[in-house]
A = this chain, B = another copy of it.
């Protein structure tokens, strides 16, 4: 199923463009002669081509006015990215196109302070990869024998036992460059773990691939100026050759090997999620509802999951919650490793949501949704099962209490089972698979979480590499890296006007009021209102205060407290580079655990698809959001949240990084926002009270059926509650 916008619902203004809408935008732009767009990409980089079309999100002010009922529906617009490769001065230009469903106009839009976007900053297209591949077939000809002899695989003239490559970025050392280190790998299942020891620096800056050339080569720890030089040294026996891998079972596959010594079964299905009484969530178009929660969802082609108008019991908590960027910055001794500073939105992070497998990626009972992207393609493409939705039994009660009478009996037992709705998508950015989750709990808590799995980005093992990681196999080094994930959270806590403060504790030393002459040392609240953007930017390296509160300066809950929500971190993030060092400027959002800024339409995203290839002069300079140090009291605030972890690969990352322990994220939790826990509205609790006499069966009070259904519990619910001598 696809999340087809249901026009009568307000949420539809945030729905992704339908295939028909994508086609309409494409047709309209192709019909404009002044743009000179090619109908298909052909075989040349020197064409003007439409790279991406996606929803242009309505301005917040318009959206809110519409959603609150008073104003007309905002025009439905598209964002289009065109790569102008045919001009004398090639560039990339973004357009807004409208109105849908029948577009009649377009206008160029620019990032503040920068226009146009340099041609060299564009993402690599499938065509460019194809051209790189073709050119490599020629350029690796001198290396045919070396590769065939020492690896059993080759590139030039290959039909079987082929080599393939992984490319790294940025592609050079400064603006305008486009030269990529390529890691040659055996093309086997899990090729990312099979580097053959050869890395090539291919300059592919020219629009004419015939001019592309190898600038340098690295083979098994040594540099060479040309393929011919390397081949010559090989032919003359002057090379230190890596010992070829002994023939053994492919270690990068998922095929099982070995046995658990416990002999406990794994060849049958284990515990599963099931829904004996049906679904407790509702999806209409792109509008999702569950246990008090209601939100609009989309999967933007440029960067992934983006939620809008997140409400609990009808009140908006956030206008937007979205993934902005994923970074992975590496260290290593081979040139590809030391050069790798991935910024994944340029790699199509949002359009890499491939098919989720029922029973593995999501429970069998999940609802699966398709996505449609027009991304580096001649038309909209359908990505089946790109998202899933399911209710998860968390395995732990939402709350419970046993009230002992300390005489072998109890006054009552009460509990509310724990479930959460999970909304999931993945982004397989070549080797890595990010699993992006948003969990909705019926007590007004939202959790955003990302798991990392898939293959590590790895390089050829040399002893020098051990300073940067672990040897994972005979010829394989897993390079250390830091993962950072960036989220935008446009919290609107009881209205758009909010203030932000941090709270932690300090110890006070006071006179003991009930024992003269004695002192009491105890913790007390230490509140720090943060009045400006700089005061609300928390760089890595300093401990984050433990309570980060977004509050309404005017609305109070029943007990007199400012209605607030808290962001709570679950992260082990750190800097990717020293502040200001070259490429670090392209990832300025990665300086801060949290930055709180004033909302501006012009500051819609913290990154762009161009950050990867021009981090030195980024189209979006996140630091500029903070630099003007605006007042943030009683303003529309946006929280920019960075989470991440340091990944030092280890042998157990083979075949894949596993999810346990590799998840980071954050919670949004009510903090005096409500008058009490709103999950008291759930009819899920079970309360048990003893009867008189205590030997009588307990009185069970519940609002759900006594039996959850076959396959879950054969026996009816019982509770004893007593304990004592037997």
Contact = CB atoms under 8 A, between A and B. Distances in A.
Given A359-B417, A482-B523, A505-B646, A652 B678 contact: yes
A256 B703 contact: yes
Contact of A661 (B290, B518, B667, B681): B667
Given A274-B271, A443-B658, A723-B384, A681 B256 contact: yes
A393 B361 CA distance: 11
A416 B254 contact: yes
A631 interface: no
Interface in A505-520: 505, 507, 512-515, 518, 520
Interface string A696-726: 0000010111001111110001111101111
Nearest to A668: B661
A501 interface: no
Given A514-B201, A660-B447, A361 B261 contact: no
A126 interface: yes
A413 interface: yes
Interface stretch (A56-64, A95-103, A491-499, A569-577): A569-577
A676 to B, nearest CB: 4
Given A507-B578, A655-B399, A681-B266, A473 B360 contact: no
B659 A522 contact: no
Interface string A231-269: 000000000000000000001011111111111111111
Contacts of A441: 658, 660
A365 B682 CA distance: 23
A391 B354 contact: no
Given A417-B270, A652-B444, A400 B290 contact: no
A653 B674 CA distance: 10
Contacts of A518: 173
A294 interface: yes
Contacts of A260: 291-292, 313, 442, 678, 681-682
Nearest to A667: B661
Interface stretch (A76-84, A153-161, A553-561, A609-617): A553-561
Most chain B beta-carbon contacts within 10 A, residue among A408, A418, A522, A547 = A522
Interface stretch (A330-338, A529-537, A589-597): A330-338
Given A173-B512, A268-B704, A272-B393, 18 more contacts: A19-B726, A173-B515, A201-B514, A255-B685, A260-B678, A260-B682, A267-B683, A271-B393, A272-B708, A273-B274, A390-B395, A401-B453, A471-B561, A482-B505, A507-B578, A561-B651, A648-B671, A652-B672
